[in-house]
Chains A and B, each alone.
Chain A
Amino acid sequence: MTEALILDSEALNALANPKQRNALFQRARAVLTIAHERRALVRVPAPVLAEVCRGPRFDAAINQLLNDKGIVVCDLTADIAQRAGQLLASAKLSSVHAVDAFVIATALTFDTAVIATSDPADLSKLAARERRLTILPL
C-alpha cells in the first residue's frame, strides 16, 4: 500500500524560502518528518509549479528543493486531467480551481494520500467524497 504526502504551492514555497515564511516552514518541515517516519512518498503535482515558478531569475530555490531531496514532481497525465475535470464538475466549481483539482486528482493516483496545504477550504470541497485523502492544514 503506497501512501503519499502531497505538497501544495504554499508548502513548497515555505520550504524553498524558509527565512520569509518561518512559521509555515517549521510546520512544513514537521510534515516532511512525519512523512519520512511513515515511509510516505513526497510528491508535488506538476501544476503546482505553475503557481510557484516565475521564471529563471526567481526559481533557483524551488529548483534546488526539487533536486535530489526526495521531493518528486508528479507529471500531469491525461488521466489525471480528466479526473480533475470530473472533480470540478462534482464539486460545482469552475476551472478557476483547476490547479486544486489537479492536486486532488494526483493524490488519488496513490492508495492513500495526505495533502499538506495552507488553503484547505477549496481542496476539502474537491476531496469531500474521497475517503482515501486527508487534507492537512499547515
Chain B
Amino acid sequence: MTEPAAKLSISIPSALAEAIRQRVGPRGMSRFIARAIEHELERELLRAYLDELDEGFGPVPQQAIAELRKAWPRA
C-alpha cells in the first residue's frame, strides 16, 4: 500500500533542480528528493546513536577503525 503523500513547498538552487530533472526526469523528482531526505534523516539518527555510544562507552577503539577501514572497499 502506498503511503499518503504530503505536499511541501521547498526551495532549492535552480541549478540543482535542473541537475536532478536531467537525471530522473520531471516525474521522478519527488521520489528522488524523498529518497535523499530519507537518507539524510537516517544519517542524522545514526550520528546521534554513535554519539550516544561514545558517551556511554568511550570513543571507538582506533585500532578497530583502522583495521576495518583497510578491509572496506575503496569507492
- Taking Cβ atoms with an 8 Å cutoff, the residues of A that contact B are 3, 18, 25-27, 29-36, 38-39, 41-42, 68-72, 112, 114, 134, 136-137
Contacts and interface: CB of A to CB of B under 8 A. Distances in A.
Contacts, number: 70
Contacts of B43: 36, 39, 70
A30 B42 contact: no
B44 A34 contact: no
A32 to B, nearest CB: 6
Nearest to B58: A26
Interface of B: 39, 42-50, 53, 57, 60-61, 64-65, 67-69, 71-73, 75
Contacts of B75: 3, 38
Nearest to A5: B72
Nearest to A134: B73
B45 A70 contact: yes
Contacts of A3: 75
9 tightest A-B CB contacts, nearest first = A70-B46, A70-B45, A30-B64, A69-B49, A70-B42, A30-B65, A134-B73, A29-B60, A27-B64
A19 B65 CA distance: 20
25 contacts: A25-B57, A26-B60, A26-B61, A27-B64, A27-B68, A29-B60, A30-B64, A30-B68, A32-B49, A33-B60, A34-B68, A34-B69, A34-B72, A36-B43, A38-B75, A42-B42, A68-B45, A69-B46, A70-B44, A70-B45, A70-B47, A71-B49, A134-B72, A134-B73, A136-B68
Contacts of A39: 39, 43
A53 B31 CA distance: 33
Nearest to A1: B75
B60 A136 contact: no
A14 B35 CA distance: 29
Contacts of A38: 72, 75
B72 to A, nearest CB: 6
B42 A33 contact: no
A69 B75 CA distance: 25
